[in-house]
Amino acid sequence: MSKTADAFETRFRGHLDELKWLYMELYENETMFAELCSEMRRFYEARNKNLKKLDLEREAQPSWYKKNDMLGMMFYIDNFAGNMKGIRDKLDYLEKCNVNYIHLMPFLDTVDGRSDGGYAVADFRRVKEELGTMEDLEALTAACHEKKMNICMDFVMNHTSEDHEWAKKARKGDEEYQSRYFFFDDFTVPAIYENTVPQVFPTTAPGNFTWLPDTGKYVMTTFYPYQWDLNYRNPRVFNEMMYNFLFLANKGIDIFRIDAVPYIWKELYTSCRNLPQVHTIVRMMRMISEIVCPGILLLGEVVMEPEKVVPYFGTVEKPECHMLYNVTTMATTWHTVATRSTRLLKQQLDIVNRLPKEYVFLNYLRCHDDIGWGLDYASLMQEGLAERSHKQYLNDYFQGFAGMSNSRGELYNADPVTGDARFCGTTASMCGIEKALSEQDSQAVEKAVQLDVMLHAYMFMQSGIPVIYGGDEIGRLNDYTYKNNPNKAADSRYIHRGSMDWKAAAQIDDTSTVAGKIFSRLDRLEKIRRSEKVFMADADTWTLDTWDESTLCIGRYYEGDKLLGLFNFSEYDKMVWINETDGMYVDMISGRPMKASGVPIPAYGFYYLKKENEPGGDKVENL
């Protein structure tokens, strides 16, 4: 038996009992389980030698992704570089951005006008034609691996496009394929579901079912009518989706973002969210990956507050996702910008910091999606902030209508009945750079850039891995041209999904430009983070009282090194009343020695204060 075959057998035997027990608990189907095991072996044998070598390296260092050099960037392939070959040509730029984790937004085959930004997949084994081919994807991942970069993709498990082969056959009346979805002859059963299942898009896609007049049946469509929910009660669905997952892993994907993971199991008389069977499926997916391709990571898209997403990490003995998004902290960050109050943010950070260090969160300021104001309103009510009126204030603020705001952006899915709405805009435009540039106000530009950089510096200090939204490194502004495209005009999220400004990117070495100002300062922060072991993802992290609600202090400690991050969320100079009397500190930005007590901090300013080592103490090493 070869060494690699022996590795597979060892992994397989190590997981077999649990995997079979969970599979049989869901499906009670020995034949389908045997098929799954056979296909796992086939995909392992088809995995190329370079990927198998990477698997072995990562197995030997299971915490490889928790190091302080991990920095992500997410972008759309077409907007960033046209196609996959174009991305390969831009790898040097991404290296200059200090990025080693690239999240390629959805690139699998979809149908224009019915794609939901690429989340309605028509073929899981075909790249959208204008973006390239599977061969191009494989070449790109290989080129990234040569540069020690990781590729992340979205794996849409909850549904397929109505243009998927399965859906087309189901639509023609094939009962075997209809069983892969949720089809109903009348609205009796859908009505029972509707009594307990919330609506995702009540204004643009009301209800959870769609009538198909050509078929004479209803089909479950939680998101949009052209996205048909998959029926994971059918073992054929689970098996085939795992084969798609392994196929893509063998193309060199390192990180799978499991889209809408809480939705994938449906049960009558429930909300069809976060059901126990979801965790069974994710746990099986984790074991399948650890058998066939243990070098890959699972990233769960779970849009809930930190303490409620924790179950998706699984347990130390039976892990599920490797990483989860820190969604609530992101939204609370922008609440803090609008209110100049860090109270709720500090509370959120304290919750995350109390979680086990094995739990890794991805932190971000902006992404491809809208911002939903899913805040802790029970806590805000204690401050006199009612949910509906505060959501209204936040949306007014970031449109530039209230609170002395300089932000610019647009609402998404505004509901005039409930008053609810989400918000869209780039980081730079929300920080006021768009407004300042349009008014040719150089002082306002400096102030807005300072806010932008401070927010990134704060994000880098959080517990976990930071991810930058592509274009934020050069201060990309809102793009209003989406209104001219009939396939995009109704979806305001395209305001922050504009094309990369390569003209601005060419100015990153010119610090008289906005792109140069932001890029150079983020570059400095990123290199500090990479060189200081205190930024390891599993470092001790906590907050300190500052006695001023508009300022925040985050502490980090790792193997003898201590760092304090101080951040001013207000447009006024402040005094941070911390009292760390354990010696002198050095501001890592300016190199200036400072005491960590009674620290004056300018408007939208920040400090990275590192405690000086005592004579004879541990020396700082560049990792």
Q: Which two three-digit tokens encode residue 518?
A: 């932001």
**DSSP code per residue over 536-567:** -TTSEEEEE--SSTTEEEEEEEETTEEEEEEE
| Gap between the Cα atoms of 526 and 99, Å rounded | 9
**DSSP code per residue over 182-243:** -EESSSHHHHHHHHHPPPSBTTTB-SSEEEETTTTEEEE-SS-TTEEEP-TTSHHHHHHHHH
Catalytic residue among 55, 136, 301, 452: 301
Count helices and strands (H / E) in the chain.
22, 23
The three state secondary structure string of 111-123 is CCCCCHHHCCCCE
Catalytic residue among 136, 259, 305, 452: 259
Which amino acid type is present at position 21?
W
Active-site residue, 301 included = yes
Q: Give burial (CB, 10 Å; 0-12/13-18/19+) of 364.
A: buried
Residue 326: CB partners within 8 Å, gap ≥ 6?
306, 352, 361, 362, 363, 364, 462, 464
Q: SS3 breakdown of the chain: % helix, strand, coil, rounded to 5?
A: 45, 20, 40
Is the CB of residue 455 less than 8 Å from the CB of residue 345? no
Neighbours of 150 (CB within 10 A): 24
Measure CA of the first residue to CA of the last residue in the chain; give whole Å.
Answer: 39
> Given the structure tokens 């200081």, which residue do they identify?
532
| Gap between the Cα atoms of 439 and 282, Å rounded | 51
Q: Give burial (CB, 10 Å; 0-12/13-18/19+) of 613.
A: middle
Is the CB of residue 232 less than 8 Å from the CB of residue 275? no
> Given the structure tokens 């390891």, which residue do they identify?
536
Q: Which two three-digit tokens encode residue 502?
A: 């390569």
| Gap between the Cα atoms of 538 and 534, Å rounded | 9
Is the CB of residue 482 less than 8 Å from the CB of residue 489? yes
**DSSP code per residue over 141-169:** HHHHHHTT-EEEEEEE-SEEETTSHHHHH
C-alpha dist (Å) from residue 160 to 114, 259, 279, 582: 11, 12, 21, 58
Is the CB of residue 117 less than 8 Å from the CB of residue 368? yes
Among residues 28, 40, 39, the alpha carbon closest in space to that of 235 is found at 28
Identify the DSSP state of 476: P
C-alpha dist (Å) from residue 526 to 97, 369, 444, 458: 9, 24, 25, 12
Identify the DSSP state of 388: H
Known catalytic residues are 259, 301
